[in-house]
Structure 1
Amino acid sequence: MKTVPALFLVLVAVASATKTHQKRSTTYSATLNDYVDEVVANVQAFVSESSLEPLSIPNVTESFSVKPLLITYSGRLSLYDGEMTGLSSVKRYGDINLEYDGETLSFDANMGVDVATVAYTYYAKLLGSLKESGTAKVTARKIDTTVGFSANLKNYTFALDTVAINSIGRTTAQLSGNVLTDWMANAVINIVIAAVKSTAITQVNSEINSVLTNVVDEANTYVTSLLS
């Protein structure tokens, strides 16, 4: 994967920079925007070519209740065949921060996706007889994430320290394929949006963690091969 040597070059360049500042301070901070942008470009290509685009989202089944007038109705909503797109547009949000304490080089990257879309097929059942199905499309904006790496410059090993989704911006949903009454449509939309903010985002976090862990493992193998 091109990301591995690119990541390695980032760390080598940063390590060289920190060594020139060791006499001035025990902790050195810097920004690595240009280097990380090169890595991000490779990550974008990797995501486009991998199973992350589109990303399969787990099925969801939720009970719900609505009270359009004086009577409360109960039902169940199933969401399946979920897919998310837009992760390949990941980019850097803000500066990349670096710290060096004389042995360990640490940097955290504030990354994000401006727009991601999740599409589900839904099946709603109410009162045992009223059944509706169609497609739900959810758009989530400004998915803000922090990723942190560290490198031990004594033994030349890398580690993934942090993968955390900080916030999700405005989220909207559209239903198609069926004409639902307003009260039922609102119930479906509320559940779909909640599912995206929990199940879908949890899946994204898990997949990103898995991919970056593999990148770090490959980077460690790559460095070992260079030193052997």
Structure 2
Amino acid sequence: MLLMVIVLCVGLVAGAPGKQPKDESLNHYMDLVMDNLQVMLVENGFDPVALPNTSMGFSDEVLGVVWHGEAKLYDGWMRGLASIHRSGNAEFIKNSEDRIRGLLASLSLGEMKGHYVCLAKFMDLGPIADVFIDVKGSDVYFEALLDTHQCKFRAEVLKVTKLGSIDVSIKGLSVLGWIVSSLMEFVMIFISGFIKNIVETVMKDMTDVVLDNIDLSPLGPILGCDPSAAHLVQLH
């Protein structure tokens, strides 16, 4: 974390005359934040991440009788969440008085791959199939606000703005092949919601932990926060 503070400090101070922070230094800062987030995701078991068990019901009419079946998905995993990275320039958020109040950045997730085991039951038939998942990345918006008393940025928004295409392939359903299209659609919707939830809750909280470990008090005069107030808060 010390390296992160030094890089940001050098970039901000040397970036422009009149103590106006150089925005390029924010790119280095965000890259280091993302590097730490990637490590946290791996160390905390989120890459690969276990996918929740889920199931889908279906039915069909055979000889005038409506039969109901169920496809259970279990032993699922997905790899690739730790591919999150900065994809656009980071920028300061400033108020009407040109004082820094936060920062924003465009982030992206790379390609993600996953797998489920599927047990489908219909009229006492129960083939086990493999479900393969391929997600072509995602766009993520990040925004943090400056806590002027603590001299730290706080993660406010980490939101999936565009989810890449989700390709699903299923092998092994044999006689229940007629449910493939419905099952594929179900998996696409489920995985879409799962990725958004992980990014906007778990990954946001982890990003906040990374930011909380970066004390920017030495940059107080530049960022417009009050290091002395931060020190008093820490004493309490």
User: In the aligned structure 2, how far is the partner of 1:96 from the partner of 1:179?
Assistant: 50
Counterpart pick for 2:33 among 19, 23, 39: 39
How far apart are the structure 1 equivalents of 2:82 and 2:208?
Answer: 18
- The offset of 1:197, in angstroms, is 1.0
Q: What is the alpha-carbon distance in structure 1 between the residues aligned to residue 172 and residue 164 of structure 2?
A: 27
* 1:30 aligned residue (23, 34, 40): 23
Moved over 6 A (4+): 221-224
Distance (Å, rounded) in 1 between the aligned partners of 2:140 and 2:49: 17
Q: By how many angstroms is 1:54 displaced? A: 0.7
SS in 2 for 1:123: strand
Q: Which sections of structure 2, spanning at least 5 residues, go unmatched? A: 219-226
Corresponding residue for 2:208?
213
Partner of 1:25: none
1:160-192 deviation per Cα after TM superposition (whole angstroms, max 9, x unaligned): 111111121111112235535442222221211
Matched, 1:76 2:55: no
Distance in 2 between the 1:142 and 1:104 partners?
Answer: 31
Equivalence map 1:38-77=2 (5 Å): 38-65=32-59, 74-77=68-71
Distance 2:70 2:16 in 1: 58
- In structure 2, give the amino acid aligned to 1:175: I
Q: Which amino acid aligns with 2:120?
A: A
| Contact kept? 1:103, 1:153, Cα under 8 Å | no
Alignment-mate amino acid for residue 74 of structure 1 = H
> What percentage of aligned pairs have identical amino acids?
19
Larger radius of gyration: 2
**Root-mean-square deviation over aligned CA pairs:** 3.6
Match of 1:39, SS? helix
Distance 1:183 1:134 in 2: 13
Change over 3 Å in CA distance of 1:50–1:62 after alignment to 2? same
1:110 aligns with 2:83: no
Corresponding position: 1:151 with 2:141: no
Report the 3-state secondary structure (helix = DSSP H, G, I; strand = E; otherwise coil) of the residue aligned with 2:92: strand
Quote the residue 1:184 is aligned against.
179
C-alpha change, 1:126 and 1:150, in structure 2 (3 Å) is same
For residues 40 and 33 of structure 1, the distance between their equivalents in structure 2, rounded to whole angstroms, comes to: 10
| Distance in 2 separating the partners of 1:194 and 1:184 | 16
What's the TM-score once normalised by structure 1's chain length? 0.76
Q: Does the residue aligned with 2:111 lie in a helix, a strand or coil?
A: strand
TM-score when normalising by structure 2: 0.74
Cα distance, 1:91 vs structure 2 = 2.1
Determine if the alignment matches structure 1 residue 194 to structure 2 residue 189.
Answer: yes
Partner SS for 1:131: coil
* Structure 2 residue 91 is the aligned partner of structure 1 residue 97: yes
1:125 to 112, 121, 128: 121
Q: Aligned-pair distance for 1:118?
A: 2.0
Q: Which one has a larger percent helix, Structure 1 or Structure 2?
A: 2
Kept in 1: contact 2:117–2:129 (CA 8 A)? yes
Letter of the aligned partner of 1:147 in structure 2? Answer: F
Q: Which runs of 5+ in 1 are unaligned?
A: 23-27
